[in-house]
Amino acid sequence: MNKIAELKEEVIKYAQKLNSKNLSPLRSGNVSARVVKDGVEGFLLTPSGKRYETLMPEDIVFLALKEEYDNLKLFNTGLNPSSEWRFHQDIYLKKTEAKAIVHAHSPHATAVSTHGKSIPAFHYMVALAGGDDIKCSEYATFGTTDLSKNILQALEKRKACLMSNHGQVAFGVNLKQAFELAEEVENICHQYIIALKIGNPKILSSTEMNKILDKIKHYKKA
């Protein structure tokens, strides 16, 4: 099995885990991985509108990163990539360290996102997303350039963010890391919802979070 075939199988594996781990039901959410195919830089992405339990390798779509390749032509060939392909492309173009992306409509992250607010440092683990809070991007219609722009703003110096009235997105150096970060974001959102039921939680200081951000660089290397 060649590298692209192996990566397609891995994309399917993590797309199905979106369902089994309760990060996204049925067809919602999407998964991608950066790859070079026939000398063209691009990424493999889950398709539009298919239940993940039925995915086959031929369903996983390759899209190019460069503008000279017209990805929109794919929609006329039957190879329909996720409608969110644009923000995957833009994240890969902006974030060279991103090798894999997981987008989920996970219950708690989506619930928090409907308030359109960042998650403050109520717990030091928000640092896993790369900063002293987890940003929430402004709302825009799915699949649009406006959504891509808003997500990139929220991902400034971050590896994950919420998407207002939509869900969350996370990236990593591989699919395992990206998926695990999405799980962490979901867990943090769950904790935040519980904390707010009691009242306004204590927020850690910038000084403390700077210490945490330094320590977190050496966390979860395996």
Catalytic annotation, residues: 84
β-pairing, 160-163 vs 136-137, is parallel
* C-alpha separations of 26 from 33, 34, 63 in Å: 20, 24, 23
Here the tokens at position 3 are 């590298």
Please list, residue by residue across 69-88, b when 16 or more beta carbons sit within 10 angstroms of its beta carbon and e when fewer do: eebeebeeeebbbbebbbbb
Start-to-end CA span in the chain (Å) = 25
Give the HSE-up count for residue 102: Cα atoms under 13 Å, Cβ half-sphere: 34
Residue carrying the six token digits 């590896």: 159
β-pairing, 160-163 vs 100-104, is unpaired
Of 15, 166, 169, nearest to 92 by C-alpha is: 169
